[in-house]
Structure 1
Amino acid sequence: MMDSNVISFQTCGFFVVVYFLHAAYGDVSYTFPEEMKRGSVIGNMAKDLGLERSALSNRRARIDSDGTDERYCDINLNNGELIVADRIDREGLCGEKASCILKHELVLENPLELHRISLHIQDINDNSPQFNEEFINIEIRESADKGARFVLEEAHDADVGQNSVQQYSLKKNDHFILSVDGNSIELVLEKELDRENQQEINLLLTALDGGSPQRSGTVVIHVTVLDANDNAQCLARPSIKPVCLKTLL
């Protein structure tokens, strides 16, 4: 007895067997934010696919994942709602990709029927900008000219789009301002340094994202002012007027 899903053709003495493994129907797509609580409703599949709710239980409806053991959603057989079954962390699943889509399938039996499900995961602002180090150490000679620039390392944010790093700010101080051009961040000397007055300077750099609520991260820039030997050194000699010399480096 030949299975109803198998059809045989005889051509030139050869048998060609074609297996119709399943019938695939139209796609259904849902867009929702990451980190929704387990049990949260994504949408109503019975309504969206025009299925009778009673058919879900009678035909043993289930959700299968596509190419992975992880199943991030499930179906409520009583009302046809698609619900969150496990934590969905967009950064863990898709990293910094602009688009994050999970593929699942709704499976119905007797007869076998498949509906493809595309889950578009939206990023939420759940990460703060971070610098690689807690402190940035810079050594600058006090002879450095006004306008001298010093490159700083940018901050990183696991979120994407508007939720990633959007701007930087430098706490007001007497000597430096900040210059930002795209991903290029530079510390600019606005007022000359004088080691005799101040040997060390601590600056606070803040990175801010564009999310709501806005998140930020900070790093301390520790500037050590190096001596340029710009003060005269006086050599005292007995009974002779001191001679002052200036050593240039």
Structure 2
Amino acid sequence: MKKITKILALATALTVSAGIAAQPSIAQSRPTIVLIHGAFAESSSWDGVIAELERDGYTAVAAANPLRSVATDAAAVAAVVHSISGPVVLVGHSYGGPVVTEAANDSPNVKALVYVAAFAPDNGESSLSLSAKFPGSTLGNAIVPVERPDGVRDLFIERSKFHAQFAADVPKEQADLMAATQRPVTEAALAEPSGDPAWRKLPSYWIYGSQDRNIPPAVMRFMAERARSVKTVVIDGASHALMVSHPHDVADLIEAAATRQ
């Protein structure tokens, strides 16, 4: 009798274990969030958003964007996405928008795109052509070009103008650090025409600030409407660096994209 009881107990334990193993954990079923910074920023600009996402149980990766050309930058991001097993939500800020739009074309595990104060070009459009579509950008007056020995022209935002131009709603001390650590983008990358847009086949989400001085809000509204955005959030008074000044709102939108069925 004792032997039969032990066998039944073992069978029950194995059945329960198998049932648990058959059920994916909540963490495993959630997509990985891949965050792509834009020009004049770097990966740490996502720190506040990452903290929010990971607090809610998501895995987030802030990949380095080379800022050299749309095609090569997209290939670098696609390589990161391909290294991840399971679904991915791809998030781009500013010039990172064209990069994720291109990278998603060759990445079947991308389930959604999130544009954070970002460009979303159509075929043949560039960041420069879109930024001039509606008036309002003052970026041109803040740019400092640097000629490299290889003939490439790098663009920076003048440090004394960075706070007002890029991150007006970020504390000045923090904005000054962002100015000191900004990474340049090539002029050619901003002028490079894009290919077929992934937002035509993937759900897209948008968030931007009403006081963005890099990309006119009217341009972002136009792009969001054209892409048939699932959800668009406009933060009143927010600057171009709203992932730094409003990480909670950005994380909330990313999670909405991640949980969409």
Q: Could you tell me the TM-score, scaled by structure 1's length?
A: 0.22
User: Which structure has the larger Rg?
Assistant: 1
Higher relative contact order (CA 8 A, sep 6+): 2
Q: Could you tell me the TM-score, scaled by structure 2's length?
A: 0.21
